[in-house]
Amino acid sequence: MSPSSPRRRLRTASVACGIDVLRVSRFHQAVKRGGEAFLRRVFTDSERRYAARHQNGLLRLAARFAAKEAVVKAMSQVDPAHAVMMRQVEIVNDRLGRPTVTLHEWPRKLPRIEVSLSHEDQVVVACAIAFR
């Protein structure tokens, strides 16, 4: 493998990133279709409690959905052999309101992962950076 080949760069890069953008109406449809089972499959109890505390709870959940997708993308670069499930990724805000990531049931050394999310009316966006 040459030193500059894409495969080698992927293996040796010290950070990996992922991004996701989501229309809230699309997420709403998924919630209507999948109901409680969908919400339980995707979100942890504390994420659902966080959303329930806010008037725009659906928007908050959509933002967390996008954040999980962004983490899945970043982690697929860190460790392509182990797929991350949405419910393994938990987004919890700290006391200043900053989102933090916990990766549950990960079989290897946990990477540090940072996320940032934003929501505006009908669109949410999130990005994640994983540090090896």
Ligand X SMILES: CC(C)(COP(=O)(O)OP(=O)(O)OC[C@H]1O[C@@H](n2cnc3c(N)ncnc32)[C@H](O)[C@@H]1OP(=O)(O)O)[C@@H](O)C(=O)NCCC(=O)NCCS
- Nearer to ligand X among residue 39 and residue 79 (C-beta): 39
Residues that bind ligand X (CB under 6 A): 60, 63, 93, 96-99, 117-119
Q: How far apart are CA 105 and CA 24, in angstroms?
A: 29
Q: Token digits for 21?
A: 């953008």
For residue 12, give the 3-state DSSP assignment. helix
Q: Which residue, 117 or 130, has its beta carbon nearer to ligand X?
A: 117
Q: Which of 46, 118 has the CB closer to ligand X?
A: 118
Cβ contacts of 113 within 8 Å, gap of 6 or more: 71, 74, 75, 101, 103, 128, 129, 130, 131
- Provide, rounded to whole angstroms, the least separation between the CB of residue 129 and ligand X: 13
Rounded to a whole number of angstroms, the minimum distance from the CB of residue 33 to ligand X is 23
Q: Compare residues 19 and 79 and give the one whose CB is closer to ligand X.
A: 19
How far is residue 114's CA from residue 99's CA, in Å, rounded to a whole number?
Answer: 8
Residue 5: CB minimum distance to ligand X, A: 36
Minimum CB separation from ligand X for residue 132, in Å?
23
